[in-house]
Amino acid sequence: MAPRSAAVAVVAVAATLLALCGSTEAHAQLGAYNKTCPQAEDIVFKEMTAVLAKSPGLAGSLLRLFSVDCLLGGCEGSILLDSTANNTAEKDSPLNKGLRGYDVVDSIKAKLEAACPGVVSCADVLALAARDSVRISKGPYIPMPTGRQDGNRSSAADVAPNTPKPGANVTDLIALFARFNLTAKDLAVLSGAHTIGKAHCSAFSPRLYNFTTTNSNASDPTLDANYTGTLRGQCRAGDLATLVDLDPGSGTTFDLGYYRDVAASRGLLSTDAALLLDGDTRAYVMRQANATAPDEFFADFAASFVNMSKIGVLTHHKGEVRRQCSAVNPPSASSLAPVTMSAHAVLLASCFISIVTMALVL
Ligand code: HEM
Ligand SMILES: *[C@@H]1O[C@H](CO)[C@@H](O)[C@H](O)[C@H]1NC(C)=O
Ligand SMILES: *[C@@H]1O[C@H](CO)[C@@H](O)[C@H](O)[C@H]1NC(C)=O
Ligand SMILES: *[C@@H]1O[C@H](CO)[C@@H](O)[C@H](O)[C@H]1NC(C)=O
Ligand SMILES: *[C@@H]1O[C@H](CO)[C@@H](O)[C@H](O)[C@H]1NC(C)=O
Ligand SMILES: *[C@@H]1O[C@H](CO)[C@@H](O)[C@H](O)[C@H]1NC(C)=O
Ligand SMILES: *[C@@H]1O[C@H](CO)[C@@H](O)[C@H](O)[C@H]1NC(C)=O
Ligand SMILES: *[C@@H]1O[C@H](CO)[C@@H](O)[C@H](O)[C@H]1NC(C)=O
Ligand SMILES: *[C@@H]1O[C@H](CO)[C@@H](O)[C@H](O)[C@H]1NC(C)=O
Ligand SMILES: *[C@@H]1O[C@H](CO)[C@@H](O)[C@H](O)[C@H]1NC(C)=O
Ligand SMILES: *[C@@H]1O[C@H](CO)[C@@H](O)[C@H](O)[C@H]1NC(C)=O
């Protein structure tokens, strides 16, 4: 190559790389895998479509798994980590025993590792699986920022302080959400996720039996009496394990059913019923319960969900891309990971080499 054309080529490459370096920012963004794994979002969608065709009930489980991950120290995949000999992980806290869907995350991750090894984080797999759960359940399509990295901390001790207490009142719930920069409106909107999925009898049976200390047959008087009867049929006294639809009648469809339930005193969880006891959350519930179309809820849900998906996100240098979602990378893989996973580091190195080469050529 003639020196002049080589110099032109080097300048062009360096300019491109510098532009890319400048655009690398420390937050999740739309299409973070456009270049490194362009088929990533399609792979997740295809796998979720296949899984939910067989087991529609898993949509709720994956949606919940993601929300719990985000509220526990950020959306960094820590809920997926298994306990080790010297650490009890978040998933083994008694409060998280009901979580399901880990094997779905593992199967999606295996497909992604086959296509683009070491590129797509477990935190992003969970975020994309949750957004696809909503979409496949006939809810809104939510453009989901990606580029989250995986954390390496997962402690059962972090769970209680960051999880709504069973029976928490609406003041507690609003305060908990405020810690994540989420508002009372976000609480009313995101609780709408309970339009799909199931709860264990243990999550609401205190409303059915022994509600007062004086009468062991007493139930929560704010729960519709007919519904109480139906629920007592589904959850006999002492049954903690049976799963019951959060939105009976349309438990696998992402619709306005949840708000109609809550407005009619048929919110299953006491925290659902509690939304009627704050002016802002009550007004939102009533408006959606009366709405003829879900458009406003869908738009609100997409916006609040994306904000939730950004809580405590780790980006380059702060986390890793786990090979396996249930365990941190072994030390050797960890030390390689920043090179393979960090487009930022690669770009910076390329820029440096280009500039040095350019200086030598010119
Ligand atoms: C106010 C905060 C929240 C509370 C107190 C709460 C509480 C609960 C509880 C107790 C269950 C039943 C778990 C079980 O028995 O296994 C549940 C299920 C569920 N939650 Fe929430 N949740 C909250 C917020 C959210 C958010 C923000 C989302 C998602 C955006 C969400 C999505 C779900 C889903 C989809 C299920 C069904 C899980 C399944 O089918 O496996 N929840 N929630
Ligand atoms: C990825 O591609 C989509 C669609 O063309 C675009 O909206 C997005 O900004 C791109 N993201 C990046 C980081 O290049
Ligand atoms: C915990 O155990 C792992 C192996 O399971 C070990 O690599 C790590 O050093 C231990 N950490 C502490 C703080 O003891
Ligand atoms: C809500 O519950 C907390 C305890 O979790 C209590 O301190 C507070 O007074 C309650 N607020 C209302 C309005 O009931
Ligand atoms: C909430 O917002 C403040 C101010 O923008 C920021 O410093 C803080 O990190 C945010 N907290 C969370 C949990 O995102
Ligand atoms: C308990 O309450 C239910 C519903 O109110 C009622 O049908 C039932 O007869 C009561 N049982 C006893 C033993 O009082
Ligand atoms: C319960 O159902 C019966 C029969 O469908 C109805 O007559 C009654 O009004 C209902 N009670 C409540 C509290 O909704
Ligand atoms: C209600 O509480 C009493 C006293 O603790 C207990 O003996 C009884 O088994 C409880 N009943 C139910 C249905 O949980
Ligand atoms: C919703 O409809 C109910 C009954 O149809 C009515 O009482 C209530 O005022 C309506 N609320 C709103 C916010 O429109
Ligand atoms: C989402 O977060 C942004 C930035 O903190 C904020 O301006 C916006 O109001 C939030 N939207 C919702 C729906 O929470
Ligand atoms: C966990 O991640 C932090 C932050 O990147 C790092 O300083 C620490 O060494 C990591 N710990 C382990 C055991 O990998």
Give yes or no for residue 199 having a pLDDT over 50. Answer: yes
User: What's the pTM?
Assistant: 0.88
- Packing angle of the helix pair 58-71, 40-54 (nearest 10 deg): 130
Give yes or no for residue 24 having a pLDDT over 50. Answer: no
> Nearest ligand, CA of residue 300?
10
Q: Which sequence spans correspond to the domains of the chain?
A: 40-197+246-309
Residue 291 is given by DSSP the state -
Average pLDDT over residues 186-205: 98
Q: Is the Cβ–Cβ distance between 314 and 342 less than 8 Å?
A: no
User: Which pLDDT score, from 0 to 100, does residue 5 have?
Assistant: 59
User: Which pLDDT score, from 0 to 100, does residue 353 have?
Assistant: 54
Worst-scoring range by mean pLDDT, 21-35, 183-197, 238-252?
21-35
Tell me: the pLDDT tens digits for 98-120? 999 999 999 999 999 999 999 99
Give yes or no for residue 361 having a pLDDT over 80. Answer: no
Question: φ and ψ at 31, to 5 degrees?
Answer: 70, 35
C-beta 84 within 6 A of ligand 3: yes
Tell me: the pLDDT tens digits for 282-331? 999 999 999 999 999 999 999 999 999 999 999 877 899 999 999 999 98
* Positive/negative CA dihedral, 38, 33, 319, 190: negative
Q: Which pair of structure tokens corresponds to residue 63?
A: 């949606």
User: Which pLDDT score, from 0 to 100, does residue 336 have?
Assistant: 45
User: Which pLDDT score, from 0 to 100, does residue 216 have?
Assistant: 86
**Which residues lie closer than 8 Å to 130 by C-beta, 6 or more apart?**
62, 63, 65, 66, 67
Q: Is the domain covering 40-197+246-309 a CATH 1.10.520.10 domain?
A: yes
The band of 335, judged by pLDDT with boundaries at 50, 70 and 90, is very low
User: Which pLDDT score, from 0 to 100, does residue 140 have?
Assistant: 98
Binding site: which residues? Answer: 69, 74, 78, 90, 164, 194-195, 247, 255
- What is the phi-psi region of residue 145: left when phi exceeds 0, alpha when psi lies from -120 to 50, beta otherwise? beta
Q: CA–CA separation, 161 vs 19, rounded Å?
A: 43
User: Which pLDDT score, from 0 to 100, does residue 22 have?
Assistant: 36
The band of 15, judged by pLDDT with boundaries at 50, 70 and 90, is very low
Binding site for heme b: which residues? Answer: 194
Q: CA–CA separation, 7 vs 354, rounded Å?
A: 10
User: Which pLDDT score, from 0 to 100, does residue 7 have?
Assistant: 56
C-beta 330 within 6 A of ligand 3: no
> Nearest ligand, CA of residue 244?
1
Tell me: the pLDDT tens digits for 45-77? 999 999 999 999 999 999 999 999 999 999 999
Residue nearest to atom 2 of ligand 2 (CA): 31
User: Which pLDDT score, from 0 to 100, does residue 359 have?
Assistant: 54
3-state secondary structure 266-289: CCCCHHHHHHHHCHHHHHHHHHHH
Number of neighbours of residue 262 by Cβ within 10 angstroms: 28
Query: How far apart are the CA of 309 and the centre of ligand 5, in A?
Result: 13
Query: Which secondary structure element, helix H or strand E, spans residue 68, and what is its range?
Result: helix 58-71
The band of 352, judged by pLDDT with boundaries at 50, 70 and 90, is low
Query: How far apart are the CA of 290 and the centre of ligand 2, in A?
Result: 37
Average pLDDT over residues 238-265: 97
